[in-house]
Structure 1
């Protein structure tokens, strides 16, 4: 029997992989064979630790992940990866897929993996569609779309302009306000136009 190579991933640096790591270790993955990406989106095809995990796999080994979304979001990418692994004689085992453990070395495991990959892609597409719809509706209604708020009022920018017109160096005025000179000039120009 080949080695079990584990892979865990979280999308933000603030999240931790403790639960994933515990599940992978409980499934028989050795700590030395565990690869973890922190702050990496599942939408990215290339991820540093996933790339290392894939390079560590040899014929007869199995890549083990806790859930399908840790591997990726794109059905096309996940299926291509599963095909690549199969072609290299490597299995893929998903610990928590549809309430059970799925191993792509079996025909049933391959079928379940394919269906679940398509569902993961559909979930992402629906989420993206909802966000785009919400932004469109807010924009049409003239509502706030979020983003960074203006830190300085127009009055503060006018006062800064008076200081510069009075002979103060623009770089010093901008520094005192905590902004770049370019931002100060852009804001002053926006006031006059």
Structure 2
């Protein structure tokens, strides 16, 4: 009977969040922790979760810090719990302070609470996705550029500077494009903007 942990963050940049989850799982007594950086919605690529499920034996307990770290939809959550329960594996969620016993030895209130919390986790995610989408649409309508601005902008500015100094540096647009990594079409488009503004 072992305590096995599972931790997940949605993006590569969330290393701190992953470390916090690992620390909580270690404090909970986990002998081994499976972890990955992948969105909860992308079930197909969650290889570490699949490996954890295969690793777990009857009588073991899978410990997760929060419900939404294990699954992001109520259907996905129930499928995972059902699969683990069939193997005789218990599931414990630290934040929600719920443990789901294998074999259905759970009272009706606990089951109701689990379903409500799982639904809230999915609802919260859907709201975030919806708001993000609305924010993008608003920004596009206002003519704001979405994406990675700073690095590209610096390269364009460097290209325009080299273009302005081409009499002294003897560079062609092709040369400038190769040095800065800015496509010729982008250089010409930026030059056109400057001419229009002038």
Corresponding residue for residue 135 of structure 2: 134
Corresponding residue for residue 98 of structure 2: 102
TM-score (norm 1): 0.74
C-alpha distance in 2 between matches for 1:4 and 1:148: 42
Query: Aligned with 1:29: secondary structure?
Result: coil
Is contact 1:44-1:72 (8 Å) kept? no
Is contact 1:74-1:120 (8 Å) kept? yes
Corresponding residue for residue 81 of structure 1: 80
Corresponding residue for residue 146 of structure 2: 146
In structure 2, do the counterparts of structure 1 residues 109 and 26 end up closer, same or farther at CA, with 3 Å as the change threshold? Answer: farther
Corresponding residue for residue 68 of structure 1: 67
In structure 2, do the counterparts of structure 1 residues 13 and 129 end up closer, same or farther at CA, with 3 Å as the change threshold? Answer: closer
Report the CA distance between 1:35 and its aligned residue: 1.4
C-alpha distance in 1 between matches for 2:95 and 2:6: 14
Report the CA distance between 1:127 and its aligned residue: 1.3
User: Which digits, 9 at most, give the CA deviation of each residue in 1:14-68, with x for residues without a partner?
Assistant: 42333322322232221xx21122x322222132322221111122222111111
What is the root-mean-square deviation in Å for CA atoms of aligned residues? 3.1
In structure 2, do the counterparts of structure 1 residues 14 and 132 end up closer, same or farther at CA, with 3 Å as the change threshold? Answer: closer
Corresponding residue for residue 181 of structure 2: 179
Say which of 34, 38, 41 aligns to 2:39.
41
In structure 2, do the counterparts of structure 1 residues 179 and 28 end up closer, same or farther at CA, with 3 Å as the change threshold? Answer: same
| Gapped regions of structure 1 (runs ≥ 5) | none
Query: Aligned with 2:63: secondary structure?
Result: strand
Please identify which structure carries the higher helix content. 2
Aligned residues: 178
Report the CA distance between 1:115 and its aligned residue: 1.5
Is contact 1:157-1:184 (8 Å) kept? no
